[in-house]
Structure 1
Amino acid sequence: MIPKAPQAGMVLHYSFLWKHEAKRGQEEGAKDRPVVVLVLLADGEEVVVAPITTLSPDERAPALEVPSRVRAHLGLDANQSWISLATLNRFVWPGPDLRPVPGSSPADALYGFIPQKLLDAAQQTAMAELAKRVPGLVVRRTEE
């Protein structure tokens, strides 16, 4: 099941396309993963999402650690995780890249929501990165 309307702070299961994958011409991410909805655009018709990853970020890469209590609340594995803000995806809601959370019954794309304080920090970091006008920071996804 896909939520009818997106909300900032949602954590969804999604085929995230990293900047390096897009540069190679890929149209779909190599791995489905949790993502955080950061921003709603066009009255919620488009969203911008950031990936959650267990790979430790490069010291220069913008990322926020996901606290263990938040990981547990969302049902993510116990490994240390980060919201990476080095690549963002933008797509028309709901788009074809939402996936059911593994093991969800009935099938559901929603893990839950991150706390407002973590969402605020992620949004502020994303805005700071966007202000730098880094090429390829936002990967636009197709509607197909």
Structure 2
Amino acid sequence: MISASSHVSTRPCRRSQARRRAAARHAFTLLELLLVLAILVVLGGIVAVNVVGTGQAANVDATTTQLKMLQQNIDMYQIRMNGLPETLEQLRDGPSDAAKKAKWVAPIITEIPKDAWGNELNYTVNGNSYELRSAGIDGQMSTEDDITVTP
């Protein structure tokens, strides 16, 4: 006679089967993971391109503003000294001519500015006009990306 308690079942418990099925339904397949990764890479590329372009545009705007402020300083020097400065340093140090030096009251600027990329600005005088130039993004003068201001 076989008792009910001595009978051992060879079938797995129904609860453990239910748990395995539930785990299988909640797990991600390799294909799903690769698809999500590909989407993230594409989105990251789009964001990176937009952020880099925005940074360069901001540098161009900052340099243009810097040149326009320097243009106002040159105009102020021209009114004060009745002539254009020979160099940008004269906005800080005053004219080199002794006769004009007597009229010099105070510096117009305290330091010579640089462009947004850390490059020196180019100032050239041609008679009664002048040009302020930044080398731009590539750092090379007289190329397409130069930023210029003339009166």
Range class of TM-score, shorter chain: under 0.3
Please give the TM-score of this superposition, normalised by the length of structure 1: 0.23
Q: Report which of the two has the higher share of strand.
A: 1
Task: Tell which has more relative contact order, 1 or 2 (C-alpha 8 A, sep 6+).
Answer: 1
Bigger fraction of residues in helix: 2
| TM-score with structure 2 setting the length | 0.23
